[in-house]
């Protein structure tokens, strides 16, 4: 039995195309599935989506592999107690996933909209640190279960009802499962650190809170992975110096 077969298939769904947005690798539509608010994520090799620089067969295989990877990542995360959207429907033929629509915003939007309204207020800074710590704990739980997200950014974390202490993870298309090394986990954290620095001003303390939460969840894993993170940072600085 194919992995996708464990999800519902064969039902109709209504697409509201005005809710579409284009991502780097997929299009996201607002839709309704069996009366439930949902989104549809479509990775397609049709001409309007195709990557011109890729061979069509390679593009099709990559799209299908990433869809399967995303499903496996979501299922594994849920097994580990990590919050993700529920998957409702999978169309493996056209590389579509219909999943729960979360009533919330990305962590990126939450941080920047609050900064715009409140500036660097004491409450905003305190909430940022609390969010960072909760995020670090969730990532540590994920890593301890041998799941690496692969694309950790504040745009791939959703906060429902502004609940910054319960991050919801999305976009597992680049996830790694199974036997993952401390190096892989360190790279996951490094990707998040670089994303935070490039997206949010003065985010260093927030990332320090991420590491605090990460180490606090499991000290043995935390020490080993953060040591690897330091090595990865050093390699990155050397590359920057040498061009």
Model confidence pLDDT, tens digit, residues 109-155: 999 999 999 998 999 999 999 999 999 999 999 999 999 999 999 99
**Domain carrying residue 163:** 104-242
Q: Which residue is associated with the tokens 């690798």?
A: 25
Do 160 and 74 share a structural domain? Answer: no
**84 assigned to some structural domain:** yes
Residues 117 and 131 in one domain: yes
Are residues 108 and 69 located together in one domain of the fold?
Answer: no
Question: Which CATH number do you get for residue 83?
Answer: 3.30.200.20
Decide: 156 and 109 in contact? Cβ < 8 Å: no
Do 234 and 141 fall into the same domain?
A: yes
Residues 138 and 176 reside in one and the same domain:
yes
Do 221 and 138 fall within a single domain? yes
Closest CA relative to residue 139, chosen from 201, 203, 67, 218: 218
Listed residues 82, 100, 118: the one ending a domain: 100
Q: Are residues 81 and 135 located together in one domain of the fold? A: no
| Domains contained in the chain, number | 2
40 touches 96 (CB < 8 A): yes
Do the domain assignments include residue 1? Answer: no
Q: How many helices (H) and strands (E) does the chain have?
A: 6, 10
Reply yes or no on whether 12 is catalytic. Answer: no
pTM of the model: 0.87
Q: Is 90 inside a domain boundary? A: yes
| 230 located within any domain | yes
Catalytic member of 59, 151, 171, 188 = 151
pLDDT per residue as tens digits for the range 77-108 = 999 999 999 999 998 888 899 999 999 999 99
CATH number of the CATH domain containing 235:
1.10.510.10
Are the CB atoms for 125 and 162 separated by under 8 Å?
no
Tell whether 11 is covered by a domain.
Answer: yes
| Euclidean distance between CA atoms 53 and 58, whole angstroms | 10
Q: pLDDT tens digits for 138-149?
A: 999 999 999 999
Tell whether 122 is covered by a domain: yes
């Amino acid at each position: 039995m194919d992995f996708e077969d464990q999800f519902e298939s064969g039902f109709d769904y209504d697409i509201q195309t005005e809710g579409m947005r284009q991502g780097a690798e997929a299009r996201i539509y607002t839709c309704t599935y069996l009366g439930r608010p949902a989104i549809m994520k479509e990775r397609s090799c049709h001409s309007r989506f195709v990557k011109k620089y890729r061979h069509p067969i390679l593009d099709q295989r990559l799209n299908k592999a990433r869809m399967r990877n995303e499903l496996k990542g979501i299922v594994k995360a849920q097994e580990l107690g990590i919050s993700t959207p529920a998957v409702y429907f999978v169309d493996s033929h056209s590389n579509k996933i219909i999943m729960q629509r979360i009533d919330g915003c990305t962590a990126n939007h939450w941080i920047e909209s609050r900064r715009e309204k409140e500036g660097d207020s004491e409450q905003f800074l305190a909430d940022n640190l609390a969010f960072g710590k909760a995020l670090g704990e969730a990532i540590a739980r994920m890593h301890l279960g041998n799941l690496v997200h692969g694309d950790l950014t504040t745009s791939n974390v959703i906060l429902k009802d502004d609940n910054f202490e319960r991050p919801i993870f999305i976009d597992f298309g680049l996830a790694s499962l199974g036997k993952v090394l401390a190096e892989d986990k360190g790279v996951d954290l490094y990707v998040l650190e670089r994303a935070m620095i490039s997206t949010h001003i003065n985010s260093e303390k927030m990332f320090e809170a991420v590491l605090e939460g990460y180490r606090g969840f499991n000290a043995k894993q935390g020490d080993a992975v953060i040591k690897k993170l330091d090595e990865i940072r050093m390699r990155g600085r050397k590359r920057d110096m040498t061009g």
